[in-house]
Amino acid sequence: MDVDRVEIDGGVMEGGGQILRVSTALSCLLGLPLRVRRIRAGRSQPGLRPQHLSGLEMIRDLCDGQLDGGEIGSTEINFTPGKIKGGTHIADTKTAGSVCLLMQVAMPCVLFAASPSELRLKGGTNAEMAPQIDYTVLVFKPIIEKFDLTFDCDIKRRGYYPQGGGEVIVRMSPVKQLSPINLTERGTVTKIHGRAFVAGALPIKLAKDMASAAVRCIRKEIRDLYVNIQTVREPDNQAFGTGSGIIIVAETSTGCLFAGSSLGKRGKNSDRVGIEAAEMLLGNLRHGGAVDDYLQDQLIIFMALANGVSRVKSGPITLHTQTAIHFAEQLTKAKFTVTKSEDEDSTKDTYFIECQGMGMINSSL
């Protein structure tokens, strides 16, 4: 007989893989059987892609759950979670599918396991349409640890589009519960640093060109800070394939972190890559929020699980964030409110995201 399943429409709002990640992670945490229909209906190639499937299979395995409809191209799945367990969990996209997106789906789950976990994630580390692993380490990690959790991220090998081949090991201990966060004070920018890289057959000159173009672009707006961008050639034994790119991070007096990043590809001028990253960073600094536009949606699931009220000041609410809020509210008892910030000059487009978390408790600890 069919269990009572929560129905999720995978084609609404953002209409992509994020709906799957948020809903299966929460299903696993809350023990809610799930049916997701119209998976990635909003995409040019609807249905499960290799990276979504490997994420689902990892969630299934880490909670001894049951997954039906788990094949490439499938637009409907049924997922029945079991009990979350620690230990080593492996996910391999076998493509340049993002290891960072695999981490997004598994991490909230293993925080509520009975014992420490090691996630071995294989795929792309610096791939399009996803956070770069450097963003995860430099921005996501220090901010997410404000929820009172800690994790360690070991980049074994970097992998690029199209082959992937990267590997990252994430180690984390479970928590009893998550503390709420308050990220509302932007502070002033105190430091800007970054990393421009090449790997494989590409000359280091490309990294130097990206870095100097980025520095020139930032200097036009921020003149009083030294911008320190390292240029690196990834060692051959620590990178698979050929790739290039840049990430630039700004730190503020209150510990806020903002980033801009871009990837090189054939036919794309390296100055352009550097300028894109610099402009993305400057755009994130202009809106006056305390988090950048890419961290917004990644905070939502943690805010929903935390015990108490979290408040985050952000720039314009992205569609990814609206989508994460929608499904977090549908599946948990958390309540979100988004209000436009009235306190500073009206030229700034800033918002407060407030959440009364559900206070998830790890019953195994």
What angle (nearest 5°) sits at the alpha carbon of residue 251, between those of residues 247 and 193? 40
Catalytic residue among 89, 287, 320, 326: 320
Task: Indicate the helix (H) or strand (E) that contains 151.
Answer: strand 151-159
267 Cβ contact list (under 8 Å, min separation 6): none
Are 105 and 54 in contact, with CB atoms under 8 Å apart?
A: no
Q: Does residue 194 come out as left (phi exceeding 0), alpha (psi in the -120 to 50 range) or beta?
A: beta
Question: CA distances (Å), 28 to each of 253, 292, 332, 336, in order?
Answer: 38, 28, 12, 21
CA–CA dist 227, 195 (Å, integer)? 11
CA–CA dist 170, 250 (Å, integer)? 24
CA–CA dist 226, 224 (Å, integer)? 7
Q: DSSP per residue over 293-310, as a string?
A: TTTHHHHHHHHHHSSSEE
Is 320 a known active-site residue? yes
CA–CA dist 213, 201 (Å, integer)? 22
**Taking the CB of residue 223, how many other CB atoms lie within 10 A of it?**
7
Token pair recorded at residue 117: 């976990």
Q: Which residues are catalytic?
A: 320
